[in-house]
Structure 1
Amino acid sequence: MRRKLAAGNWKMNGLGAALEELRTLATTPVPDNTDILICPPATLLSRAAEVAGHVAIGGQDCHANATGAHTGDLSAEMLRDAGATSVILGHSERRADHDEHDEDVRAKARAAWEAGLTAVICVGESLQEREADNTLDIIGGQLAGSIPDAATGENLVVAYEPIWAIGTGKVPTTAQIGDVHDFIRARLERRFGPGVGRSVRLLYGGSVKPSNAAEIFAVPNVDGALVGGASLKASDFSGIIDALSMA
C-alpha cells in the first residue's frame, strides 16, 4: 500500500518568520497513512529541519555534481547535510527559467540518489501542448528522459503538474488528471516492472487548495499533491492534508 504524501513547495517565498507556519504544522497531528514534506528556500533548510518534527524537509533543486566551481548552486550532499530528505527536480519553472532539459533532470536525480535523497521529479505539459492533444506524448518523453534506471518506490516520487494550471487557478478535470496519472502508472510498470511501478507515489500539482483537494484525491492513482501557494500557510495546507488523509 502506497503511503499518501502532501508536499509543499514554498518556491522563492519565506523569511525566518515563516518558520512559525512550519512549527504549527509540526504540532498538528497527522494520520498514520500520510507523510508531509515541506520544501522551503535553501536559506531556511537547516532551521526548518530543526523545528520540523514529523514534517520532512526537502530542497527545491540540486546540482548534478557533488562539489566544484558552481557559484550559487547546492549539491545534493549539501541539502542532505542541512537536513533534507528529498529534493524537487525538473519543476517546470526550472525547466523554463533555467533551460533545464530531461537529461539535466536525470543527472540531478542520480546525484540525489547517491546522496540518499528521494527525487520528486516533475512532469507536465504546456497549454499549447494540451490543446494540440500532445499531453501524453510530452509526459511519456519526460518520464523516459528524466528518470534514471535505478528507480524504486523509495527513491522516486513523480509529480504531474500541468504548466497551465500552476498558480493560475485553472485545474484540469478529474478525468484529465486521471488519464495522465493512469498513463504514468502504466509507463512506470512497463519500464520498471509491476513491483516498482506500483510502489512509486504519483502526486498532482497545480492550483490545489482545500476547496478542491478532496475531489482531486478521489481520482485513482493520485497519491497526494505537490502544492505551491497553499502550502505557505499552515491553515490552508492543513485543509489539504485532512482531505488527503480521508481520501
Structure 2
Amino acid sequence: MTKQSITEIRTLLREDNLTETDIALFKQDTRKGVQQLIATYEKNKLKKQALEKDFYEMCTYERNCRLAGKQLIAGIDEAGRGPLAGPVVAAAVILPDNFKLLGLNDSKQISVSKRNEFFDIIKESAISYGISIIDSRMIDKVNIFEATKLAMKEALLQLNPPADHVLIDAVKLDNLPCTSEHIIKGDSKSISIAAASILAKVTRDRLMNEIHEEYPMYDFKSNMGYGTKYHMEKLKEYGISPYHRKSFAPVRENI
C-alpha cells in the first residue's frame, strides 16, 4: 500500500476524524515530517482537553444554580474602575445552557484579537445582554464604587428576558429584582461573569480608542486611561481633558 503524502496526513489530522489505530500507524511512519505532525497533533489535543476541563469547571456555579431551579442566570462584571480617565463600563449577560466557548476566561487573560472575536460570539449567542456606560462626570459626582454599582444595576435591568439569578464579580449589590451572589475573582470562576467581562472590557477599550482620536496627546489607545508614566507626564504638560476623573488624586493635583 502506498504511503499517504505528508500533505494528505496533515489534512487528516486537521480534520481530526482519525481512530487511535490510524494515529498508531502514523507513529510508525519514520518520515520526520510525519513525526512532527503527530507531535503537534498530540500537543494540540492535550491543550484542547485542558481547555475542556477548565470550561467545565467554570460552569460549576451555573450548574449549581440550575440544580436549584434557576433558569435565566446572568453574569455581571465591570471594566474601568482603576483608570484616571474614561468611563466605567458594566455588562450583564445570560448565556444559553448549551453555550460553549473554549478559552473563555477573565478578559485580562485573553489577547486583544481573541477578546474581539469572543465579543461577537457572546453577543450572537446570548439569550440577552446589557451594557451600561457611566462617564467621568458621574464618577466624580458619586465616587467610583457607587458608579460601578450603578453601571452593574443598569446593565442587569437591560436584560430581556430578565434574569432570575445573577452572579456578580466581587461587588455585592442590594435591592435587585432577583436573587444574587457575589464571587471574588468571579471572572475566572464563572463562565457567565467571564462573558460579561469580555463585553465590558471590549466596549470600554473601543470607547477609549475613540477618545484617543480626540485627545491623542495622552495616548489613551495604549494606556486605556490608566496612570502610566507617559500618561502622567502628559497630564502635567497639558493638564486634564474632559474625560479625566477630577475626584482621583493624580488628576486633581493637575487641575
| Greater RCO (CA < 8 Å, at least 6 residues apart) | 2
Could you state the TM-score of these two structures normalised by the residue count of structure 1? 0.26
With structure 2 as the length reference, what TM-score do the two structures score? 0.25
Considering only CA atoms, is the larger Rg found in Structure 1 or Structure 2? 2
